[in-house]
Amino acid sequence: MNKKLLRDSALFSFSRYVLMGMSFIRNFVVARVLDPENYGYWVIVTIVLAYGDQIHLGLRHAGDKEIPYLQGQGRSDESQRTANTIFGGVLLLSGAALAVLGGFVLITGNTGEGLERMIFLAGLIVFMEQINRYYLMIMRVKRLFVFSMKVEIITEAFRTLLVCVLVYYFSIWGAIVGFLAGALFMMFYAIAHFKKEFVPKLDRRLLGRLFNLGFSLFGVSLVFVALINADRLFGATVLSKAELGIYGVAALAAQLPLNFTQGISSVVYSTLSETFGKSNDVAALSPLSLSVLSSLSFAIPLIAGTTYFGSTFLISLFLPVYMGSLKILAILLPGVFFLAFVPFLSGLFTVANRARQFLVLELFVAVCSVLLFVGLQKFSPGPEGVGIAMTAGMLLYAATAIVAAFRLFSIGPVETVRRIAGIYWPSLYCMIVVGVILNTIGNEADPMSALIGYAMFLLASIPLVIVASRVLDLRKTFNVLRSSHG
């Protein structure tokens, strides 16, 4: 394996976890300073930012795929024209979205809570972040991975510092302005660095082709974002702001295992792409994919358990007003164990040119999730009902994605059941362990009880680690990763 490629891959993977860590610190401090009601408003702002990131409608996905392809063919002029057209399209779409939000604020006026102005500022952040994401895409296609990593880490460190300081003095408005200032900092730096190398253009014919090229990937990404944020989006309509704040802290903790597997997937993705490119045969993806799934089946339960007891310790010690979040987190935990497989499976279908197939699967899960949210609010209203519906949706999402992956590799029904049992049993074991521990330690509001519970969890996980060391062939997985790069 090329040493530079290995180093860049390792650094890129490491940077993902550094960014996740800073995001966690930022949100933790915001939750610490704000009361549950104001944190509920912060949750709404983060929802706008999450959905706003998809406003490019697939243009960035098309750039990731098309620009390197044209460069590889020596068609540098077309590559430059494509990059400029994507830039123009991104500015057009994000500018239109900002104008719509501005019109919304003017029409609705100020209700006294300031929510409309918060949403408008979030829209302004989305506009600047679209420019930033465009330049990050350019860095990727130019293979400037280390430079991209440095830019992102410095920006996030600056953003985290501003948010943590300003929220202390100016409450939620300080957090929003700090986030905005971070986006502004990176935007000015990226524009200054690339100078006039990329100029926004609007080639209508090329733009149409790029939309068509990136549509499937955009659809998969959009529905994925919708599904993992569905509980907070629905909660914003049925819960009070204080309830949404309590729920938001639990949801933030619940997504940590998902963030971990997203980092793993981003590294494995390029290896899968190169493997598929050599043979154009889906079967060639099977050895590495099945090995990664097996590895994740043992890693995810340990990470999810650590997340639960770590969150219990931090919330009970530093965020006592959010103690209600622990009950929600316990409800979400079973779904978290399995949803964490989805980022890798989504990338697998994308590599295999089956993005449309995965999109159909996601839309089916989305329809079922809507029915679950609406139905369960009638029988179990409030945050608990939202959490139960989200957990059921996560379980369905993961199960259908795993079954679809085995069908992709033409694995028969009997073998599929056997492999699913092999993937699920570590998570089921850890869920039982967590349940027994919670019934044993008693008062989960005590930080010391959380530490004792985590120590018990680690002891109970030793058999799992022993089995993993015997079942998993990590050397074989590493060799597959090395051989795919030559």
- Is the separation of the CB atoms in 123 and 105 below 8 Å? no
Q: Give the pLDDT confidence score for residue 480 in this predicted structure.
A: 47
| Full-model pTM | 0.85
Higher pLDDT, 144 or 58: 58
Q: Give the pLDDT confidence score for residue 484 in this predicted structure.
A: 43
Lowest-confidence range among 71-75, 353-357, 378-382? Answer: 71-75
The structural domains of the chain, with segments of one domain joined by +, span: 1-228, 230-486
Is residue 462's pLDDT more than 90? yes
CA distances from 132 to 79, 148, 150, 185 (A): 19, 11, 14, 10
**CA 38/CA 61 separation, integer angstroms:** 35
Write out pLDDT tens, residues 369-404: 999 999 988 888 889 999 999 999 999 999 999 999
Write out pLDDT tens, residues 263-319: 777 667 767 776 776 777 888 889 888 888 988 899 899 999 999 999 999 999 889
Lowest-confidence range among 15-24, 178-187, 221-230, 244-253? Answer: 15-24
User: Dihedral, CA atoms, 404, 407, 412, 413, nearest 10 degrees?
Assistant: 20
Tell me the mean pLDDT in the region 162-187: 95
Tell me the mean pLDDT in the region 140-145: 78
Tell me the mean pLDDT in the region 243-264: 87
Sorted by sequence, the CB contacts under 8 Å of residue 117 that are 6+ apart come out as: 105, 110
Q: Give the pLDDT confidence score for residue 190 in this predicted structure.
A: 94
Tokens of 349: 């279908």
What values do phi and psi take at 304, rounded to 5? -65, -40
Is residue 336's pLDDT more than 90? no
Write out pLDDT tens, residues 221-247: 889 999 999 999 999 999 999 999 999
**CA 129/CA 124 separation, integer angstroms:** 9
Q: Give the pLDDT confidence score for residue 288 in this predicted structure.
A: 84
- pLDDT-based confidence at residue 481 (cuts at 50, 70, 90): very low
Q: Give the pLDDT confidence score for residue 11 in this predicted structure.
A: 66
Residue 382 DSSP code:
S
Tell me the mean pLDDT in the region 176-189: 96
Higher pLDDT, 64 or 22: 22
Write out pLDDT tens, residues 337-352: 888 899 889 988 988 8
Sorted by sequence, the CB contacts under 8 Å of residue 123 that are 6+ apart come out as: 48, 52, 97, 98, 101, 102
Q: Give the pLDDT confidence score for residue 306 in this predicted structure.
A: 93
Tokens of 64: 């990731």
**Closest Cα to residue 82, out of 93, 71, 95?**
71
Q: Give the pLDDT confidence score for residue 109 in this predicted structure.
A: 64
Computed over every residue of the chain, the mean pLDDT equals: 87
- Percentage of the chain modeled with pLDDT above 90: 54
Q: Give the pLDDT confidence score for residue 112 in this predicted structure.
A: 55
